[in-house]
Amino acid sequence: MVQKKKRTSGQRKRRASHFALRVGAVNKCPNCQKPIRPYHACAACGYYKGKEVIKVALKTKKAKATK
């Protein structure tokens, strides 16, 4: 297919103005004050909503043991 009319540069820029990425939201972990994404468990301490859901200490010990 061949286009019927050329799209002007202004039309192209107006269409592309909505392609910009937004900065993701960042909250602080109430347990360790590190930055975390909303609705995600903290990667530093493993807590989510005041409860430990990930045992982070075991992961760091395993990483040190393999080195």
pLDDT in tens, 43-65: 999 999 999 999 986 555 556 66
42 by Cβ neighbours in 10 Å (0-12 / 13-18 / 19+) ranks as: buried
0.85 surpassed by pTM = no
Q: Does a structural domain hold residue 1?
A: no
Q: Does a structural domain hold residue 20?
A: no
Q: Does a structural domain hold residue 51?
A: yes
Q: Give residue 53's domain range.
A: 26-67
Q: Does a structural domain hold residue 10?
A: no
Please state, for a pLDDT cut of 90, what percent of the chain lies above it.
75
Domain count, the chain: 1
